[in-house]
A and B are shown apart, each in its own frame.
Chain A
Amino acid sequence: MLAYRDGDARAFEALYGRHRARLFRFVLRSVKERGVAEELFQDVWMRVIEARGRYAPKARFTTWLYSIAHNRLIDHWRRKGLSVVDLENVDVEGSSPNPESQAEARQSLQRFAKALEALPPVQREAFLLHEEAGMSVAEIAQATGAGEEAAKSRLRYAVAKLKAAVDDG
């Protein structure tokens, strides 16, 4: 980001390439509609671009990037309800050609998605930051503006609920 701030356009390409997919999934699973997710995703990157002149490394770039995404999502959540992307078009990967097994796997995955959707927003966000951005509890706390204890608690509850959904399936 420092190189991009200093005028190196290729540095942005590298950053974007490294974070685009994970950030997109983080946003996509935080909102329901794909179109909205694309809009928010672009908005986050535009804020990164606009802030390049003021960028000063106080944390990892990843933490900074997801804190921008967090703030953007907060704005969105205030206006809309909370939900994750539906699973209508999710392909269930499996080696079994058996239609019954595939249907079971699909149902299991849908249960997991429902459980993810049912999480309180702060817990779901903590989980997505952990899974998609690979953040530690301290980094989740920093990106979301929460205390470390709160971040740790949110993540622990989220994982426990999702684990129950996995075991149930």
Chain B
Amino acid sequence: MADERDPKVSQRYRELGTEEPPRHVDEAMLAASRRAVHVHPAPLVPPTGRRRWYFPVAAAAIIMLSVAVTWHMQLERPDPDGYLASAPAPEASRAAPPEQKIEMQAAPQAAPPVAASRMEERAREPTTEPPEKWLERIAELRKEGRHEQADKALEAFRRAYPGYKLPESVLKK
């Protein structure tokens, strides 16, 4: 190659400039390269060697886990009364300062009507009915202006069905 090389020509060529691709092109190419790596095609041949045992072991683990969860669910059927009895005490009474506690104890507490109380309890029962029915009852509480009870029921619902899309009727006050 020594006979083809000419330092003057190379030098002059370098003077033409050192253009580079623009940043957006770089970013597009690198993004495309990452996408291509993350799309894993299915293997054309079955796994061999040390990887061969992964699949049966994983399948056995999944089956055992499924059986254990099913058995556990059968042993521990949900008990609505138990759920209500074990519901945590309201934050206000737990965290309130002593003076406020005295005020709370001294304040007259209006006994809710029996029908409304039953509705509130039913609205807070999380596991005995489908979520749609449960939400209907919370909406009824809202309609009647019983927002405090509706809030508690909604809190219980959210614990039981996290991520469930809530309708406006149970949210608005």
Contacts and interface: CB of A to CB of B under 8 A. Distances in A.
- Chains A and B form a bound pair: yes
Contact of A24 (B10, B12, B21, B30): B21
B21 A21 contact: yes
A93 B4 CA distance: 26
Nearest to B5: A159
Interface stretch (B33-41, B64-72, B131-139, B140-148): B33-41
Contacts, number: 99
Contacts of B5: 159
A64 interface: no
A146 interface: no
Contacts of B12: 108-109, 112, 162, 165-166
B28 A42 contact: yes
Nearest to B41: A53
Task: Tell me whether chain B's interface is mostly helix, strand or loop, or mixed.
Answer: helix
A92 B3 CA distance: 29
Interface string A127-169: 0001100001100000000000000100110010011011100
Given A52-B36, A162-B9, A136 B29 contact: no
A137 B32 CA distance: 33
Contacts of B4: 130, 137, 152, 155-156, 159
Task: Tell me whether chain A's interface is mostly helix, strand or loop, or mixed.
Answer: helix
Interface of B: 1, 3-6, 8-10, 12-13, 15-22, 25-26, 28-30, 32-34, 36-38, 40-41
Contacts of A20: 20-21, 26, 29
A56 interface: no
B78 to A, nearest CB: 45
Nearest to B9: A162
Interface of A: 4, 7-9, 12-13, 16, 20-21, 24-25, 28-29, 38, 41-42, 45-46, 49-50, 52-53, 85, 87, 90-93, 108-109, 112-113, 116, 130-131, 136-137, 152, 155-156, 159, 162-163, 165-167
B12 to A, nearest CB: 5
A29 B6 CA distance: 19
